[in-house]
DNA sequence: ACCTGAACACCGTTCAAGT
DNA sequence: ACCTGAACACCGTTCAAGT
């Protein structure tokens, strides 16, 4: 910690401190003031490196994508379905690694060189699958948008338990306004295995890709 | 405005003021203090109705879902594909109506009675499509997660223009690290029609649903 | 060139009073 | 029962100095 404070001030050191703060105390704890004390400097010293709070948050996206794109993202000897599965799993891993910063991925297009390389990796997999050139960009967005949306739903609580008001639910059931819930009650009472659900979703999307072939 | 301030204080009035603030000045402008002055009261008076800032934001989700679920969401005389298309379009409409508050939908599970009715509507469409009971909840999440993720990407800027550094991109192209981008250049330079792209995505997912039939 | 310090206009929330 | 006012510990950012 004291060692970290002593390393020379740099954009990277600032962003890493921001990401660390987000992971440890939540995205709301990432303030210019908190990041500044983390790197051992006054808040105003940060502005020379990151310009503004908004730019700092954009920078967190770069850092996350940087570690999300290991060198193992390579085409050599891996079929396109396994490559897409790898991308899908990577999105979820990233959400678990950075649960509160993850949402920032929805704020900016893929413009950094790491981001573009990642998109290219997906493009190549779709091309290898036989998807016509004209449909590749759309299917890339379809696939990654689903993966990011699923991961965000998990870490942000949309898929969470959710304390349903039992009284209200019984009233709705009695009023017959949720007939499908009644029919599916057996399945809705079971705990969901989110890993297998995601896997099944990805397999469905891979089938979609295979169907989009010429 | 003066009329609005005069109406009796209530949870609903407070939430509507919050949503109005979000739409007009962004989610960041929704502070306890701003909402309070909007309804003509002192910040601390809100706490009796909404408990905390977090609860206030949860309440915004209820209000959004409430207007998202018009009475026209009915099964009568509409085939399951059209019903799912309606849900998909509704998600995007909602994002455009409440561009900054929309992201809150990822924060909480569907627990209010409006939310549950909406989920039931999708369940019923999937059942009518012939999807086996055991797969209906998963496919509901697959479908809505994609729609919400797409809409969020649009309003939050992930699908935005994105000022790519031309220098960096040329360097990547020269280095051969983005081969698929080079091959797809013709398509990547075209402006995207986000309406038709979403429509095509939804049709692909409907095909997936049809395939999931017994 | 790089950093500090004071100041401005904000936050959410606690607590003790008021009516 | 419902609301206010002062206070506490925070925000991002500006501007003028310091070295």
Question: pLDDT tens digits, residue range A99-125?
Answer: 999 999 999 998 898 999 999 999 999
Arithmetic mean of pLDDT over chain A: 92
Chain A, chain B: beta-carbon pairs less than 8 Å apart:
175
The Cβ-side half-sphere exposure at B154, using a 13 Å CA radius, reads 23
Q: How large a percentage of chain B has pLDDT more than 90?
A: 79
- Give me the pLDDT at residue A3, please: 46
For B105-158, the DSSP string reads: GGTS-S-SHHHHHHHHHHHHHHHHHT--GGGHHHHHHHHHHHHHHHHHHHHHTT
In this complex, the residue with its CA at the shortest distance from the C1' of nucleotide C3 is A45
- Separation in Å, CA of B16 to nearest CA in chain A: 22
Question: pLDDT tens digits, residue range A135-157?
Answer: 999 999 999 999 999 999 999 99
Question: pLDDT tens digits, residue range B114-148?
Answer: 999 999 999 999 999 999 999 999 999 999 999 99
Q: Are A102 and A58 in contact (CB under 8 A)?
A: no
Six-digit token pair at A137? 């960009």
Q: Which of A55, A76, A116 to mutate to test the interface with B (most CBs of B within 10 A)?
A: A116
Residue for token pair 């051992």? A40
Contacts for A114 with CB less than 8 Å, ≥ 6 apart: A62, A65, A66, A68, A69
| Interchain contact, A172 vs B123, CB within 8 Å | no
**Rounded Cα gap, residues A105 and A151, in angstroms:** 11
- Give me the pLDDT at residue A169, please: 79
Confidence of residue B72 (pLDDT cuts 50, 70, 90): low
In this complex, the residue with its CA at the shortest distance from the C1' of nucleotide D11 is A31
Arithmetic mean of pLDDT over chain B: 92
Question: pLDDT tens digits, residue range B186-206?
Answer: 999 999 999 999 999 999 999
**Subset of residues 38-57 in chain A with CB less than 7 angstroms from any atom in strand C:** 41-42, 44-45, 48
From the list A106, A169, A186, the residue facing B152 with the nearest CB is A106
Q: Are B83 and B121 in contact (CB under 8 A)?
A: yes
Per CB-CB distance under 8 Å, the chain A contacts of B205 are 208
**Residue in chain B lying closest to A136 (CA):** B184
Q: Is the CB of B33 under 7 A from strand C?
A: yes
Q: Is the pLDDT reported for residue A1 higher than 60?
A: no
Question: pLDDT tens digits, residue range A46-105?
Answer: 999 999 999 999 999 999 998 887 666 777 789 999 999 999 999 999 999 999 999 999
Tell me the mean pLDDT in the region B64-73.
79
Most confident of A146-150, B160-164, B167-171: A146-150
**Rounded Cα gap, residues A160 and A155, in angstroms:** 9
A28: the nucleotide nearest its CA (via C1') is D11
- Give me the pLDDT at residue A72, please: 62
- Give me the pLDDT at residue A168, please: 81
Q: Are B190 and B65 in contact (CB under 8 A)?
A: no
- Give me the pLDDT at residue B211, please: 94
**Residue in chain A lying closest to B171 (CA):** A113
The number of beta carbons lying within 10 Å of the beta carbon of residue A71 is 5
B91 burial (CB, 10 Å; 0-12 / 13-18 / 19+) is buried
Confidence of residue B5 (pLDDT cuts 50, 70, 90): very low
- Give me the pLDDT at residue B74, please: 76
Nearest to B91 by CA among B80, B79, B105: B105
Tell me the mean pLDDT in the region B151-163.
90
- Give me the pLDDT at residue B71, please: 63
- Separation in Å, CA of B10 to nearest CA in chain A: 21
pLDDT higher for B69 or B58?
B58
- Separation in Å, CA of B36 to nearest CA in chain A: 22
In this complex, the residue with its CA at the shortest distance from the C1' of nucleotide D14 is A44
Nearest to A118 by CA among A126, A110, A130: A110
Question: pLDDT tens digits, residue range A164-184?
Answer: 677 887 888 888 889 999 999
């Amino acid at each position: 910690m004291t060692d970290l404070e002593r390393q020379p001030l740099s954009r990277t050191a600032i962003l890493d401190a921001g990401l660390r703060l987000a992971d440890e105390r939540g995205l709301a704890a990432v303030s210019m003031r908190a990041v500044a004390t983390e790197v051992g400097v006054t808040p105003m010293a940060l502005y020379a490196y990151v310009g503004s709070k908004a730019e700092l948050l954009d920078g967190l996206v770069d850092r996350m994508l940087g570690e999300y794109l290991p060198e193992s993202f390579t085409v050599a000897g891996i079929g396109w379905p396994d490559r897409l599965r790898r991308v899908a799993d990577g999105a979820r891993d990233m959400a678990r690694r950075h649960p509160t910063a993850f949402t920032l991925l929805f704020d900016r297009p893929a413009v950094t060189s790491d981001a573009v390389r990642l998109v290219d990796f997906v493009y190549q997999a779709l091309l290898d699958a036989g998807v016509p050139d004209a449909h590749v960009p759309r299917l890339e967005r379809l696939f990654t948008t689903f993966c990011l949306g699923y991961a965000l739903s998990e870490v942000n609580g949309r898929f969470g338990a959710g304390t349903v008001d039992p009284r209200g639910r019984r009233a709705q059931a009695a009023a017959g306004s949720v007939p499908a819930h009644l029919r599916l009650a057996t399945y809705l009472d079971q705990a969901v295995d989110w890993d297998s659900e995601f896997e099944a979703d990805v397999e469905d999307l891979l089938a979609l890709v295979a169907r989009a072939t010429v």
